[in-house]
Amino acid sequence: MKINLCSDSIKKIEADVEIIIVCNKDLEQNNIKDKKLLEDLNFKATDEESVFLPESKRIYVGCEENSYDAIAIAVATAMKKFKATKFKVAKVETLNDETLSVKALVEGSLLGTYSFTNYKSEKKKEQNKELIIAVNGDLKSLKKIAAESTIIANSVNKTRNFVNTTPEDFYPDVMAKEAKKIAKEVKIDCKILGEEYLEKNKMGAMLAVARASVHEPKLIHLTYKPKNAKKKVVLVGKGLTYDSGGLSLKPADYMVTMKSDKSGGSAVLGMMNAIAQLNLPIEVHGIVGAVENMIGGDAYKPDDVLVAKNGKTIEVRNTDAEGRLVLADCLCYAQDKIKDIDYIFDYATLTGACVVGVGQYTTGIMGNSGSLKCKAVKNSLQSGEYATSLPFNRFLKKTIKSEIADVCNIASTRYGGAITAGMFLDNFVYKENKDKWLHFDIAGPAFVESAWGYNPHGASGAGVRMTVQLLQNIAND
């Protein structure tokens, strides 16, 4: 889909269809063209409510408030309706805050019209649709915002494609190949490290998780290094291309959707794709642990003790708590390889407990620095992603103690599972990086089995927008 900005008044712009975003309170005023008809149709202008008036070729869509979220949901709703028609060009006007409006309109329409049809036998042809946005303010600066939003939304959609792809078609080597493809396209560096490297470097935790799979684990390391970089940031992602649970096998119902356990790693790939194209003035490393957690005679077992790259020993009491094992070694790798880090963030569909705790639409953000967590939550919300901060405490920390090793991979309590998983990871964050680290548990929003707002069924690309926003903010510090 093409999106263009135009500084002509909406009336002058030629298009097949006009999209009219209506805030509830506008309905009471008399300046709405089809007021009577809308009343007869019982149109109340609530979120995700729309009507298409074929005679006047207008799509009216509800919008409950003047916010990014509401505008993006509104335009996504309207564009889905428009996409179902044979019309080619639609036009829409910005709302009061033009910067916010342009961002929401571009991202809302690109994210809202995404669909994943790779596994449908009937292939739909990509239709050449166009959306023209009528703006009042400075065209040049608004065009820049639209271009940035296009990069961001396309990167989110790339992440969604990876996550939605089946485990049969997307295993560690495929993930590595996709990383290489991105690196080539956006001209960044890419290193792929296999089993031999992991063995040589004593990454016993990641290797154990991978052992029963026919697919070799891959550690992906992407590097974006602009001249005169102001900061150095590391992004680490959990890339479990499938999580069967291992010998602590998941019940059948819980195993379905576990192709989405690569969401953290896929988000990191999407982030790198966006960051490089946006030319952010910071050095960014993207590290993904791509592994498949399976069963077999060779599988790692509950009762095993693993040795991670930093020499810490881990008692395995549940092979389904595998993401933290992969991340443990990836975090060590990152900190051993990259010196003088300013920030280190990890992304993972780590715990069902996080979904239970904060709901399926929200990311849980953890770490040792209250101010950094606050900054991340604020930027997430600004980017259109829901997030909240979850607190560590000394009592929960005691629940992951082990009698025979340094730490246990599950807690002795079933309460606070998202936090105890985060505190497990803290064991693999080096002293000098304690306050520079954040852990993002995206288990809820990464993959939802019903459409929500501008997110379709399945992968949402969670993590990409919030991180780009956070890094843009960090770059301006």
Of 129-137, 145-153, 254-262, 415-423, the window that binds Zn ion (rule: CB under 5 A) is 254-262
Identified binder of Zn ion from the candidate list 93, 261, 346, 426, rule CB under 5 A? 261
203-232 residues in contact with ligand BES (CB under 6 A) are: none
For 344, 357, 397, 437, the CA distances from 425, given in Å and listed in that order, are: 12, 19, 11, 10
For 63, 202, 232, the CA distances from 281, given in Å and listed in that order, are: 36, 34, 10
Per DSSP, what are the bridge partners of residue 448?
A: 458
The helix-helix angle for 263-277 and 464-475 (nearest 10°) equals 40
Name the nearest CA neighbour of 262 among 285, 292, 287.
292
Q: Is 250 annotated in the active site?
A: yes
Residue nearest to ligand BES (CB): 352
Where does residue 301 rank: exposed (0-12), middle (13-18), buried (19+ CB within 10 A)? exposed
236-275 residues in contact with ligand BES (CB under 6 A) are: 243, 261
Least separation in angstroms between residue 248's CB and ligand BES is: 7
The helix-helix angle for 98-112 and 139-164 (nearest 10°) equals 30
Cβ nearer to ligand BES, comparing 101 with 349: 349
Least separation in angstroms between residue 172's CB and ligand BES is: 16
Tell how many helices (H) and how many strands (E) occur in the chain.
Answer: 16, 19
Question: Rounded CA gap, 445 and 452, in Å?
Answer: 10
Of 125-133, 136-144, 165-173, 348-356, the window that binds ligand BES (rule: CB under 6 A) is 348-356
Binding mask 315-334 for ligand BES (x = CB under 6 A): ---x-xxxx-----------
Cβ nearer to ligand BES, comparing 23 with 410: 410
Q: Is 324 annotated in the active site?
A: yes
* Per CB under 6 A, 351 contacts ligand BES: yes
356-415 residues in contact with ligand BES (CB under 6 A) are: 410
Identified binder of Zn ion from the candidate list 93, 243, 292, 426, rule CB under 5 A? 243
Cβ nearer to Zn ion, comparing 77 with 260: 260
The pair of structure tokens assigned to 85 is 């028609």
Kindly report the number of other CB atoms within 10 A of residue 136's CB atom. 11
Least separation in angstroms between residue 246's CB and ligand BES is: 9
Total chain residues near Zn ion (CB under 5 A)? 6
Of 35-43, 257-265, 277-285, 456-464, the window that binds Zn ion (rule: CB under 5 A) is 257-265
Three-state DSSP at 421 gives: helix
Identified binder of Zn ion from the candidate list 323, 416, 417, 463, rule CB under 5 A? 323
Which among 250, 312, 317, 375 is annotated as catalytic? 250
Of 49-57, 303-311, 314-322, 389-397, the window that binds ligand BES (rule: CB under 6 A) is 314-322
Question: Rounded CA gap, 153 and 178, in Å?
Answer: 18
DSSP symbol at 64: S
Which among 81, 91, 103, 324 is annotated as catalytic? 324
Name the nearest CA neighbour of 462 among 372, 375, 385.
385
Of 59-67, 136-144, 161-169, 343-351, the window that binds ligand BES (rule: CB under 6 A) is 343-351
Give me the half-sphere count of Cα atoms (radius 13 Å) on the Cβ side of residue 67.
Answer: 11
Which of Zn ion, ligand BES, none does residue 462 bind (CB under 5 to 8 Å by kind)? none
DSSP symbol at 452: B
The pair of structure tokens assigned to 388 is 């909240």
Please state the φ and ψ torsions of residue 190, each to the nearest 5 degrees.
-140, 125
Cβ 425 vs Cβ 326: under 8 Å: no
Question: Rounded CA gap, 373 and 366, in Å?
Answer: 7
Which of Zn ion, ligand BES, none does residue 410 bind (CB under 5 to 8 Å by kind)? ligand BES
Cβ 206 vs Cβ 292: under 8 Å: no
412-471 residues in contact with ligand BES (CB under 6 A) are: 417, 443
Cβ nearer to ligand BES, comparing 115 with 318: 318
Contacting residues toward ligand BES, per CB under 6 A: 243, 261, 318, 320-323, 349-353, 355, 410, 417, 443
Contacting residues toward Zn ion, per CB under 5 A: 240, 243, 261, 320, 322-323
**Catalytic annotation, residues:** 250, 324
